[in-house]
Amino acid sequence: MLLDEIKGVNDIKNIDPSDYQELAQEIREFLIEKISHTGGHLGSNLGAVELTMALHLFLNLPDDKLIWDVGHQSYTHKLLTGRKEGFETLRKFGGMSGFPKRKESDCDCFDTGHSSTSISAGLGLVKARDIQGGSNTVVSVIGDGSLTGGMAYEALNNAAKLETNFIIVLNDNNMSISENVGGVSKYLNNLRTATAYLDIKEGVYKTLKDIPKGNKVVEGIRKAKSSFKQLVVPGMFFEDMGVTYLGPVDGHDIQAMLRVFQEAKRIRNAVLVHVITQKGKGFAPAERHPARFHGAEPFDIETGLPSKPRTTANYTDIFSTVMTKLGARDKKVVAITAAMPDGTGLKRFRNMYPDRFFDVGIAEEHAVTFAAGLAAGGLKPVVAIYSSFLQRAYDQILHDVCIQKLPVVFAVDRAGLVGSDGETHQGIFDLSYLSSIPGMHIMAPKNKWELSDMLKFAVAFDAPIAIRYPRGEAYAGLKEYRAPIELGKSELIYAEGDVCLMAVGSMVKTAETVKEKINAAGYKCSLINARFVKPIDLEAVKWAVENHKLVVTLEENVASGGYGEKVREAVDSLQSKTQLLTIAIPDEYVEHGNVDLLKQEIGIDAEAITDRIKKEMES
Ligand SMILES: Cc1ncc(C[n+]2csc(CCOP(=O)(O)OP(=O)(O)O)c2C)c(N)n1
């Protein structure tokens, strides 16, 4: 096995070039086998095998710096930097992360997870190099999907002033998670078909480089802005900005990429190398269904089907169904996603009402202000964005939606712990950041019926409102508790005494188990489903403190700025002596791992909560 010869960084340089193809094949087989057990970002990684090999052959890590945008495609990079054993524990608690982590290797020079950051970070590393007199090479690798994110253009705009080398590799597989969308995608499509030009250009450059001072002439040609060039040079958009464009080059041809990278390294400004790859390459099911294999659950290698087929509906399914019903009922209902039609469940809405569906690309900030515009124009926009990605749009929510009190509905999916994607993807801050914005309203459903009721309530509501719901199976318990949703009103589920649990969303289910355990320990236990985190139900808080010895708030959000803090404030204002216990996620970043394990680890599982309550009651 060639792969066995790679024990650490730069070992790939000892492999004979005639064996590169075989090594690529071994890497693909290795990744398919491992990810079939652990789950992970298969498609993006299979597409980037040769690109990563070429970059490792070209660069001298860790002195040179390699930044992976999003970072979900960094598995081959991990393999080539001595982390083969880590794949046994990929994305598991305490194991290897699915994303680059500085704490994991000195070859991971910058942590990523959210898209479109790599050019900014790379430019920072370039400037740090230049100011300190360094000479290392800096490469940022960004996908065509990630190039739809506004931050990438802010960085390109800034990089255009550069007078030293900075290489940006555009890994273009024509796909985001789903089909890439919009003008950028269209533009790249045109460039892809311009391969004939590259052949001419390469030929001319080769000849020029062989003559004395030929390199200078090559540079001169690159910088020239003749009208002829305007007509024939692909990548004019980048070139006009001041970023040299090279390509397109076949991203599965290592030698071709090495030639272009060497050429790119000589250029004394920012240079974009356009590399064409195929998502899922080498595994037929992933080639056929790139969206399904973007982030795959464990699967059967023979069939490509999930090892554990899903039998129950998750919250996204419920959201998806209710959105189609609301779309049928009211022509003013429109839906917006930032490059996640599959993940958010809006694909069905898109299929049924294509004119009222908008995939804006990986552009959460734009998605929110665009929704504000739609609302100002008289429509009822529902923006579905994962909790952690919505963090990006804080100012747009405040400045464009809430100050103007526009009726935008935020469907905040993946709220709470998400598991194997780790720190960057945990949705544990939304209650804090959303509730700090005046004019925002926030709900969280206890079960699948309540999500449906809340969504209907939200669409009829005439002000900014968010519904946060978690990843995974939609709770089907407590079906009989379905009192109509009323603004700022919680729902009393059990009224007993001693301990009162006030739980938000997903924690209502946990609270039911806690209640059983508390009852078994000889205490009475009431349970309130908070429903609203903003505004909170002050009457319910009053009832809780007046009728119990201990009030316990439970939420899957960090403690700082969360529901518990709001209840504490309310209790303080009542000047009550009732004890208060806050169950929340500690103010820390929670790493990757199975969600149940993570909950145990941070003490928000039923066992740990019960123990804490018992201690409080005994004290
Ligand atoms: C801010 C943000 N929004 C959404 C996502 C979810 N996401 C992860 S990868 C991805 C698509 C990236 O496409 P591309 O850059 O072309 O990489 P590919 O997977 O095709 O290699 C998206 C939307 C994210 N990581 N960050």
The pLDDT of 456-468, averaged and rounded, is 98
Which member of 28, 83, 279, 380 is catalytic?
Answer: 279
Shortest-distance atom of ligand 1 to CA 149: 1
Q: Structure tokens of 489? A: 């009103």
The pLDDT of 496-524, averaged and rounded, is 98
Give the confidence band of 184 by pLDDT, cuts at 50, 70, 90: confident
Cβ(553)–Cβ(580) below 8 Å = yes
Residue 201 appears among annotated catalytic residues:
no
User: Residue 365 Cα, ligand 1 centroid: separation in angstroms?
Assistant: 15
Which range is least confidently modeled, 58-72, 173-187, 579-593? 173-187
Alpha helices in 160-253 (DSSP H): 182-192, 195-210, 214-223, 227-232, 236-241
Compute and round to an integer the Cα radius of gyration of the chain.
27
Cβ(281)–Cβ(178) below 8 Å = no
Task: Indicate if the pLDDT at residue 216 is higher than 80.
Answer: no
* Whole-number percent of the chain with pLDDT over 70: 94
Which member of 364, 491, 556, 565 is catalytic?
Answer: 364
List ligand 1's pocket residues with C-beta within 6 A. Answer: 44, 70, 72-73, 114-115, 143-146, 173, 175-177, 279, 294, 338-340, 362, 364, 389, 392
Q: Which of 411, 360, 296 is nearest to 145 (CA)?
A: 360
Place of tokens 């990429």: 257
Q: Which CATH architecture describes the domain 491-618?
A: 3-Layer(aba) Sandwich (3.40)
pLDDT at residue number 178: 87
Q: Whose CA is closest to atom 11 on ligand 1?
A: 176
The pLDDT of 295-320, averaged and rounded, is 94
User: Residue 70 Cα, ligand 1 centroid: separation in angstroms?
Assistant: 6
Tell me how far apart the terminal alpha carbons of the chain are, to the nearest angstrom.
63
* Whole-number percent of the chain with pLDDT over 90: 88
Phi, psi of 481 (to 5 degrees): -90, 95
User: Residue 338 Cα, ligand 1 centroid: separation in angstroms?
Assistant: 10
Residue 360: its H or E element: none
In angstroms, what CA-CA distances link 124 with 54, 120, 139, 149, 264?
A: 24, 6, 12, 18, 19
Q: Which CATH architecture describes the domain 315-468?
A: 3-Layer(aba) Sandwich (3.40)
pLDDT at residue number 209: 60
User: Hey, where are the domains in the chain?
Assistant: 3-194+234-276, 315-468, 491-618
Shortest-distance atom of ligand 1 to CA 340: 23
User: Residue 504 Cα, ligand 1 centroid: separation in angstroms?
Assistant: 30
Q: Whose CA is closest to atom 25 on ligand 1?
A: 114
Which residue among 42, 176, 425 has the greatest number of ligand 1 atoms within 8 angstroms of its CB, and so is best to mutate? 176
Shortest-distance atom of ligand 1 to CA 116: 1
In angstroms, what CA-CA distances link 209 with 56, 99, 175, 257, 519?
A: 25, 40, 36, 18, 83
Q: Structure tokens of 507? A: 């924690």
Task: Indicate if the pLDDT at residue 231 is higher than 50.
Answer: no
Task: Indicate if the pLDDT at residue 235 is higher than 90.
Answer: no
User: Residue 7 Cα, ligand 1 centroid: separation in angstroms?
Assistant: 30
* Alpha-carbon gap, residue 195 to 264, rounded angstroms: 17
Instruction: Return mean pLDDT, the chain.
Output: 94
Phi, psi of 37 (to 5 degrees): -95, -45
* Alpha-carbon gap, residue 281 to 284, rounded angstroms: 8
Q: Structure tokens of 292? A: 């399904």
Q: pLDDT per residue over 541-570, tens digit each?
A: 999 999 999 999 999 999 999 999 999 999
Q: Which residue has the higher pLDDT, 221 or 95?
A: 95
Residue 512 appears among annotated catalytic residues:
no
Residue 239 appears among annotated catalytic residues:
no
Q: pLDDT per residue over 48-85, tens digit each?
A: 999 999 999 999 999 999 999 999 999 999 999 999 99
pLDDT at residue number 195: 53
User: Residue 618 Cα, ligand 1 centroid: separation in angstroms?
Assistant: 50
Which CATH number is 3-194+234-276's, of 3.40.50.620, 3.40.50.970, 3.30.360.10, 3.40.190.10?
3.40.50.970
The pLDDT of 437-443, averaged and rounded, is 98
Task: Indicate if the pLDDT at residue 232 is higher than 60.
Answer: no
* Alpha-carbon gap, residue 557 to 292, rounded angstroms: 29
* Alpha-carbon gap, residue 519 to 535, rounded angstroms: 30
Q: pLDDT per residue over 312-343, tens digit each?
A: 999 999 999 999 999 999 999 999 999 999 99
Beta-carbon neighbour count of residue 302 at 10 Å?
A: 8
Place of tokens 């506004």: 150
User: Residue 541 Cα, ligand 1 centroid: separation in angstroms?
Assistant: 42
Q: Is the backbone peptide bond immediately before 285 cis, with ω within 30 degrees of 0?
A: no
The pLDDT of 298-311, averaged and rounded, is 93
Place of tokens 């390699």: 66
Query: 315-468: same fold as 3-194+234-276?
Result: yes
Which residue among 362, 385, 471 has the greatest number of ligand 1 atoms within 8 angstroms of its CB, and so is best to mutate? 362
Which residue among 49, 52, 115 has the greatest number of ligand 1 atoms within 8 angstroms of its CB, and so is best to mutate? 115
Cβ(278)–Cβ(45) below 8 Å = no
pLDDT at residue number 489: 98
* Alpha-carbon gap, residue 515 to 529, rounded angstroms: 13
Place of tokens 């250029």: 267
pLDDT at residue number 200: 45
* Alpha-carbon gap, residue 434 to 441, rounded angstroms: 8
